[in-house]
């Protein structure tokens, strides 16, 4: 863990190093993934079967029946099922508000213009099943697709030794999956994108995964749409000394426990509070079942930055463009207004990022690696496409057509000009 102060003469250089440090996989992954994709494209089921046997230790059948998913849902204890249903309801309500409206108007020239939105025909969702299995990711991916009107929802999830996580299956049933396949890794992404003898291709692939999954999504983009290329998780907490340091330590570790290369950063204007948070992190680490992962993340990538006043924090936040941003202060609104780049923002002392992972409502699939500068979290729009339309009658083509003819002629495209001018006489 590094400790920085913006009062130090070398702060700018140290902060630049923090911003520019890469925590994502090297180029060796790219070559491995390209080879896997090529095999799946040429060999289909045979390649997927071989790779599944090699990496996950099981053979066919790959399909998990919807009956098994519903049985898993029915088998949950009452408290857990209620929690899953609450999460699903809140996620659905939030994403229903994102669905865009069609438009259809006639402008001053008498031209009818507009756009209509439709869901893609089929979407594939990748759900991790290696280091950990996350039913929350099932809900966060499948429910927006369902709200978008996707007709065929396909879920893939690795099942080491063929063992599926019952909670993941329960979430699939609750969210409305149409197909569930026990395959993972780059081979699963390739199967979704290109199809095999058994698995029909989809139009969009979403969902988190390891470096091989992220790279596979990058490589199949263009054949299918993707949500994003996501890297290791990250959290940035801006907190003043009025917080309980134990709370903030827990917030930082909530992301550190995801992955050894996750990153947790605290910005505060109180050096004594920074010391207290650091001590609280050290005290909590030994109590975690995820201690080894969280310790590696905190020691190698954690950071505490002390600033003279919190008004200096927003430019630093924007440089980091974090996946998750907590504004743990008494009045978060001024900081909230000043921040431009963050995947999702959590306002106030009583809004830990972890509540957003499960039951807040907004999506937890978010841009990492400073990509919040130019991209957004998963939404209904990732599963939809917009088609514009235009209609002229004889009067309106006469009103706007001459300008089109002039521009086409200037561009040296006489057939373009003629296709309009022929309608003007």
324 is catalytic: yes
The residue annotated as part of the active site, out of 179, 215, 234, 323, is: 323
- Three-class SS string for 226-267? ECCCCCCCEEEEEECCCCCHHHHHHHHHHHHCCCCCCEEEEE
CA separation, residue 223 to residues 76, 78, 202, 204 (Å): 38, 42, 10, 9
- Give the three-class secondary structure for 107: coil
Contact 119, 384 (CB under 8 A): yes
- pTM (two decimals): 0.93
Q: pLDDT digits over 225-238, tens only?
A: 999 988 899 999 99
The residue annotated as part of the active site, out of 324, 326, 341, 364, is: 324
96 is catalytic: no
9: enclosing H helix or E strand: none
Rounded to the nearest 5°, which phi and psi values hold at 111? -90, 130
Domains of the chain in start order, with CATH, are 2-24+231-360 (3.40.50.1980), 28-102+121-226 (3.40.50.1980), 392-421 (no CATH)
276: enclosing H helix or E strand: helix 271-284
In angstroms, rounded to a whole number, what is the distance separating the alpha carbons of residues 168 and 157? 9
pLDDT by 10s per residue, the chain, length 425: 999 999 999 999 999 999 998 877 666 899 999 999 999 999 999 999 999 999 999 887 789 999 999 999 999 999 999 999 999 999 999 999 999 999 999 999 999 999 999 999 999 999 987 556 789 999 999 999 999 999 999 999 999 888 889 999 999 999 999 999 999 999 999 999 999 999 999 999 999 888 899 999 999 999 999 999 888 999 999 999 999 999 999 999 999 999 999 999 999 999 999 999 999 999 999 999 999 999 999 999 999 999 999 999 999 999 999 999 999 999 999 999 999 999 999 999 999 999 999 999 999 999 999 999 999 999 999 999 999 999 999 999 999 999 999 999 999 999 999 999 999 98
């Amino acid at each position: 863990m590094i400790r920085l102060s913006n009062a130090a003469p070398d702060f700018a250089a140290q902060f630049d190093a923090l911003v520019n440090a890469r925590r994502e996989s090297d180029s060796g992954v790219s070559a491995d993934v390209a080879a896997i994709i090529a095999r799946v494209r040429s060999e289909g089921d045979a390649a997927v079967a071989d790779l599944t046997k090699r990496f996950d230790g099981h053979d066919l059948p790959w399909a998990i029946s919807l009956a098994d998913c519903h049985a898993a849902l029915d088998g949950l204890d009452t408290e857990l099922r209620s929690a899953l249903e609450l999460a699903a309801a809140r996620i659905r309500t939030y994403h229903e508000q994102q669905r865009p409206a069609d438009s259809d108007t006639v402008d001053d020239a008498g031209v009818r213009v507009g756009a209509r939105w439709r869901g893609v025909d089929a979407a594939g969702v990748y759900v991790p099943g290696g280091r950990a299995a996350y039913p929350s990711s099932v809900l966060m991916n499948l429910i927006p697709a369902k709200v978008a009107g996707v007709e065929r929802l396909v879920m893939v999830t690795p099942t080491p030794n063929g063992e599926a996580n019952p909670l993941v299956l329960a979430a699939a049933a609750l969210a409305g999956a149409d197909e569930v396949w026990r395959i993972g890794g780059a081979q699963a992404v390739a199967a979704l994108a290109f199809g095999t003898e058994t698995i029909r291709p989809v139009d969009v692939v979403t969902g988190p995964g390891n470096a091989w999954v992220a790279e596979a999504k990058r490589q199949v983009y263009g054949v299918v749409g993707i949500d994003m290329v996501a890297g290791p998780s990250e959290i940035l907490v801006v907190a003043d000394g009025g917080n309980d340091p134990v709370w903030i330590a827990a917030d930082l570790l909530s992301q550190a426990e995801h992955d050894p290369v996750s990153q947790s950063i605290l910005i505060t204007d109180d050096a004594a509070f920074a010391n207290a948070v650091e001590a609280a992190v050290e005290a909590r680490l030994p109590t975690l079942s995820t201690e080894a992962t969280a310790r590696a993340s905190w020691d190698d990538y954690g950071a505490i930055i002390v600033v003279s006043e919190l008004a200096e924090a927003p430019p630093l936040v924007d440089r980091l463009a974090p996946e998750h941003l907590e504004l743990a202060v008494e009045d978060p609104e001024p900081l909230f207004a000043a921040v431009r780049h963050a995947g999702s923002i959590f306002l106030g002392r009583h809004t830990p990022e972890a509540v957003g992972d499960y039951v807040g409502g907004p999506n937890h699939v978010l841009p990492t690696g400073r990509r919040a500068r130019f991209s957004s979290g998963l939404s209904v729009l990732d599963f939809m496409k917009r088609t514009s339309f235009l209609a002229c009658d004889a009067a309106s083509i006469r009103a706007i057509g001459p300008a089109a003819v002039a521009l086409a002629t200037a561009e040296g495209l006489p057939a373009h000009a003629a296709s309009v001018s022929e309608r003007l006489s």
